[in-house]
Amino acid sequence: MPELPEVEVVRRGLAKWVSGRTIDSATVHHPRAIRQHEGTKKDFVTRLTGRKVKSVSRRGKFMWFVLDDDNAVVTHLGMSGQVLMQAPDAAPEKHLRVRWTFRDDKRAMHFVDQRTFGGMAIEPLVSIDYDEAVPRSVVHIARDPLEPHFDQDEVVSRMRKSSSAIKSVILNQNVISGIGNIYADESLWRAKINWTTPANRISASKLHDLVNHAREVMTQALAQGGTSFDSLYVNVNGESGYFSRELDVYGREDEPCNRCGRLIARQPFSGRSSFLCARCQPRPRSGKTP
């Protein structure tokens, strides 16, 4: 499941392969892959043909190709999206959704997505602060902890205004971006916070601690190429990351806690799962457990 480290691995790979190259053709193999694009499939293809890719940027889990006409191709990997650089004559993958070829006839770009939660859309770039520009649909996404202008004091302040469970708050991409289910559980374990704790009942220093752990765990994951549980996440060369071996709680139900030895528990959370150590991360005293 691609979260910030996995998307950044893909972005770095793409930056090497496509920056400065001119798109020769674009093919849409599944309409759902461009459902966020405001124009038609023909419009998507026409507007890409002949455009040069200047660079590849990212905020949180959103990534975009900056084109030479001041538009951007916003790309979200969803749950199962992959961007692969393939030989021009490579056979199409079973779940190939969008394909670009380039005028230099070197490797083509394949957007592959089994569950089609991801997608691509061409959008204008909008100027924001610090002389930066982001695609229109990314304006509402908060800065992620790896960005140079990430304002941690402001993020903690926003967190403390919410009465929601802290896990819901750190998964809210409008508050802090890039964190998904895996790194949320890992950060909360490192900070010794129970995921059900209302955010406004956690001290500012503890929330700073949590954000620092989130930054730390995602930086470590990035250094190891991201977290791969199966073939659903790979880099642009089709290679898996290795951080799943370092996870302390996520996916480790009934295994001993690396800190205290108590068995890791799995709890339902909004239709999905939360993993935690009940000893290291005790429930809030008078809080209600969902």
* Window of 212-220, 237-245, 267-275, 278-286 that interacts with DNA by CB under 7 A: 267-275
**In the chain, what is the greatest distance between 2 CA atoms, to the nearest angstrom?**
64
d(CA 243, CA 262): 22
In angstroms, what is the minimal distance from the CB of 68 to DNA?
A: 25
Residues 6+ apart with CB under 8 A from 220: 243, 246
In angstroms, what is the minimal distance from the CB of 21 to DNA?
A: 26
In angstroms, what is the minimal distance from the CB of 279 to DNA?
A: 22
d(CA 288, CA 70): 49
Strands (E), the chain: 23-28, 53-59, 62-67, 71-76, 81-86, 96-102, 108-113, 119-127, 133-135, 265-269, 272-276
In angstroms, what is the minimal distance from the CB of 105 to DNA?
A: 30
* Window of 15-23, 82-90, 155-163, 220-228 that interacts with DNA by CB under 7 A: 155-163
* Window of 17-25, 82-90, 179-187, 237-245 that interacts with DNA by CB under 7 A: 179-187
In the list 51, 58, 61, 107, the residue contacting DNA (rule: CB under 7 A) is 61
In the list 25, 137, 219, 258, the residue contacting DNA (rule: CB under 7 A) is 137
If the CB atoms of residues 23 and 199 are measured against DNA, the closer one turns out to be: 199
In the list 40, 127, 237, 270, the residue contacting DNA (rule: CB under 7 A) is 270
- What's the distance, Cα to Cα, between the start and end of the chain in Å? 25
171 binds DNA (CB under 7 A): yes
In the list 94, 149, 245, 285, the residue contacting DNA (rule: CB under 7 A) is 94
If the CB atoms of residues 46 and 231 are measured against DNA, the closer one turns out to be: 231
Query: Is 225 within 8 Å of 235 (Cβ atoms)?
Result: yes
Three-state secondary structure readout of 134-167: EEHHHCCCCCCCCCCCCCHHHHHHHHCCCCCEHH
Name the DSSP letter for residue 221: H
φ/ψ of residue 19, rounded to 5 = -60, 130
272 binds DNA (CB under 7 A): yes
Contact residues toward DNA (CB under 7 A) are: 1-3, 32, 60-62, 76, 78-79, 94-95, 114-117, 137, 161-165, 168, 171, 173, 180-182, 250, 266, 270-273, 290
